[in-house]
Amino acid sequence: MNYKFFASHTFNEDDGFTAMLGFSDDQFEPSKFLIVQRAHEYDDQDIKLGMDNLHIQLEDQSRAYYGGVTSISVVANTLLLKLNHSAKSSLIVDGDIEIILDLNNPNLKETLLELELIAEREKIPFKK
């Protein structure tokens, strides 16, 4: 079964070193959320530790993984991140990540554009 929730809130930030974006069921007290991070450049230590990929997190730091996203799609009001087996295991989900988007969210378009750029940099297929 997919990890699924309605995202009433989205955000994206870029500090010049890392791009970060997120989707959550509440702006101030989220119980379900997805955070996506990607460094603009990876150093030798990142590569050595296997941290030279997209980083995703669900709900808390214990449910995080580097890489593992095999494709991303946005169809109508649904964002779907397909995961490989290792990512599913580490994130403790049986299926993929499915997020129902609030199409009236004023940050949504910008957040999805940033997600598309991250997918392009990571060579992850992105369909819309």
Domain boundaries in the chain? 3-127
45 Cα distance to chain centroid: 23
| CA separation for the pair 95, 51 (Å, rounded) | 23
Q: What is the mean pLDDT of residues 78-104?
A: 97
Q: What is the mean pLDDT of residues 69-84?
A: 97
Q: Is the pLDDT confidence value at 1 over 90?
A: no
Can you give the pTM of this predicted structure? 0.93
Query: How far, in Å, are 25, 57, 63, 86 from residue 10 at the CA level?
Result: 9, 14, 19, 26
Q: What is the mean pLDDT of residues 108-124?
A: 95
Q: What is the pLDDT of residues 25-59, one digit of tens each?
A: 999 999 999 999 999 999 899 989 989 999 999 99
CB 63 within 8 A of CB 89: no
Q: What is the mean pLDDT of residues 58-81?
A: 96
| CA separation for the pair 68, 83 (Å, rounded) | 5
Chain-wide mean pLDDT for the chain? 95
